[in-house]
Chains A and B, each alone.
Chain A
Amino acid sequence: MIGRRIAVTGMGVVTPLGNSLAELSANLGAGKSAVRRLAPSLAARLRSPIGAPVDFDATPRFDPPRLRMLDRVSQLALEATGQAVSHSGIDFRAEDLERCGVFVGSGMGGATTTDEGYQALYAEGSDRIKPYTVLAAMTSAAASWIGIDHGITGPNITFSTACSSSAVAIGEAALRIAAGAADVMIAGGAEAPLTFGVLRAWEAMRTLAAENLADPSASCRPFSLNRSGLVLGEGAAFTILEDWNHALARGATIHAELSGYGLTCDAVHITRPTVMGQAGAMRAALRSAGLDPNSIGYINAHGTATVQNDATETEAIKTVFGDDAYRVPISSTKSMHGHLLGAAGALEFIITVLSLREHLVPPTLHLDVADPACDLDYVAAGPRRVAPFRAAMSNSFAFGGTNAVLIAEGRQT
């Protein structure tokens, strides 16, 4: 990246695979799927009654007056950022707070609140919509609350580019620091789409996976010939990004360097991805990191398990990596945690950093039937211990065509 180097000094997660880095790491290493049949109240009217929910009770975490203003998406975001801030050991009281910022990715914002409001107005015929509806539902609410929580007065922006939202938030935050416009950024994403209205809308697009009746947890099958679509998940994932010298000066633990960020737009079709757009983003990320494809030891794929994405992404990786495409381990962890939409890029970037740090590549679960259009190494047999490697790539693509690719490198002094 041109300019100042970016240190990843903190990470926090609330995910279907656990509500701490330790839990997430253990479940990835064990190759566990969090996909399951949803509660009967949701499942009853869905053709695809599966999802990847988070086990998180907000009641003990927030004061009641505040809780009434927080949609689930903000609750998850605040919990994950709280973890990331403590993990980084940063004390914002000692910082120039106008040089700190909050960048958040979210696709749908306060979807639960919107859904409940419409339920009252249209289904119940009531005029009683909650007075907090706008404040809880607005897509920028989570970012605002994070800023309030830590008193951060620098740039506070919400990015909404559908499924690449939080990869964009992290990449743009890194650019701010690289350019010298900020020193510390809280960057990540949050999404809470497991409400009936949202689930039914995704179902109507015919993009959701069919339930595997014998084993609902095996319903998401990226890169497998019998893949049938994505499984929606919820959660939040946040990083603390810091100017390298700022991190060193305060004696912070640096977990990785964010060295590459590539951003392109397909600009062709609202849903259909392009090889050129995806490959362009990967190339741009490599270029900004100053790396050749042979330095990449792991790719966390976008890997949604839709027919279109997985074949296109495979082709795009081949276009960029050439023969190296067959060497590099690639996995879609969405097979385990589902598709967190606006939070997916941040969660998968954190998983990429964990993998780089622990030399452990998480698997693509449920890849049972080889697809001739997807013939790379997807780490299907289970988690794989590998030799230490220099850098790892995390791909995030999206409806609407905004492709964001992040590259993390191991700690170097």
Chain B
Amino acid sequence: MSTLTALQEILIKDYAIPRERLMPDALLSSLGVDSLGMLELMFKIEDRFDLKIPGDPPTGLATVADVVAYVDSLITAGPGRHGPS
């Protein structure tokens, strides 16, 4: 499963955002995910992707695609970690 699909599933299941609004260029703030919601989303990403996010996420994460790219960079960097299953 791609990172995008896995992230979309989290946002559909836990944030009740309709799938059709979860385009890669969709702004998270317009989907109801504010700055604290973003921090909460990082917990869910850590669990879903078996990652450890060091400190706070970068402030520039605005769109769904931004988060996907960030998660992918963590997956690539993390030795011994595996991607979404």
Size class of A's contact patch?
under 10
CB within 8 Å of A: which B14-30 residues: 14-17
- Contact, CB under 8 Å: A65 / B39: no
B29-51 CB mask vs A (1 if < 8 Å, else 0) is 00011101101100100000000
Contacts of A64 in B (CB 8 A): 14-17, 32
CA–CA, A128 and B40, complex, Å = 9
- Contact, CB under 8 Å: A132 / B33: no
- Contact, CB under 8 Å: A65 / B15: yes
Instruction: Knowing A64-B15, A64-B16, say if A128 contacts B36 (CB, 8 Å).
Output: no
- Contact, CB under 8 Å: A63 / B32: yes
Instruction: Knowing A64-B15, A64-B16, A65-B15, say if A130 contacts B32 (CB, 8 Å).
Output: no
Contacts of B40 in A (CB 8 A): 68, 130-132
- Contact, CB under 8 Å: B15 / A131: no
A57-74 CB mask vs B (1 if < 8 Å, else 0) is 000000111001000000
Contacts of A130 in B (CB 8 A): 40
Q: What's the nearest-Cβ distance from chain A to residue B19, in Å? A: 14
Contacts of B33 in A (CB 8 A): 65
Contacts of A128 in B (CB 8 A): 43
- Contact, CB under 8 Å: A68 / B43: no
- Contact, CB under 8 Å: A65 / B43: no
Give the B interface residue count (CB, 8 A): 12
Contacts of A63 in B (CB 8 A): 16, 32
Contacts of B39 in A (CB 8 A): 131
Q: What's the nearest-Cβ distance from chain A to residue B50, in Å? A: 15
Contacts of A135 in B (CB 8 A): 36
CA–CA, A223 and B13, complex, Å = 50
A359-397 CB mask vs B (1 if < 8 Å, else 0) is 000000000000000000000000000000000000000
Nearest chain A residue, comparing its CB with the CB of B34: A65
CA–CA, A215 and B34, complex, Å = 48
Contacts of B36 in A (CB 8 A): 131-132, 135
Nearest chain A residue, comparing its CB with the CB of B32: A65
Q: What's the nearest-Cβ distance from chain B to residue A195, in Å? A: 21
CA–CA, A255 and B34, complex, Å = 42
CA–CA, A63 and B18, complex, Å = 12
CA–CA, A135 and B39, complex, Å = 14
Q: What's the nearest-Cβ distance from chain B to residue A133, in Å? A: 10
CB within 8 Å of B: which A120-156 residues: 128, 130-132, 135
Q: What's the nearest-Cβ distance from chain B to residue A298, in Å? A: 46
CA–CA, A205 and B84, complex, Å = 49
Nearest chain A residue, comparing its CB with the CB of B11: A64
Q: What's the nearest-Cβ distance from chain B to residue A116, in Å? A: 13
Contacts of A132 in B (CB 8 A): 36, 40
CA–CA, A369 and B36, complex, Å = 55
CA–CA, A130 and B15, complex, Å = 15
CA–CA, A68 and B31, complex, Å = 14
CA–CA, A65 and B15, complex, Å = 7
CA–CA, A131 and B42, complex, Å = 11
A62-98 CB mask vs B (1 if < 8 Å, else 0) is 0111001000000000000000000000000000000
Nearest chain A residue, comparing its CB with the CB of B47: A128
Nearest chain A residue, comparing its CB with the CB of B16: A64
Q: Which 4 A-B pairs have the closest CB atoms?
A: A65-B32, A64-B16, A131-B36, A131-B39
Show 20 A/B contacts (Cβ-Cβ < 8 Å), sorted by A. Answer: A63-B16, A63-B32, A64-B14, A64-B15, A64-B16, A64-B17, A65-B15, A65-B32, A65-B33, A65-B34, A65-B37, A68-B40, A128-B43, A130-B40, A131-B36, A131-B37, A131-B39, A131-B40, A132-B40, A135-B36
With contacts A64-B14, A64-B32 known, what are 4 further pairs, Cβ within 8 A?
A68-B37, A131-B36, A131-B39, A132-B36
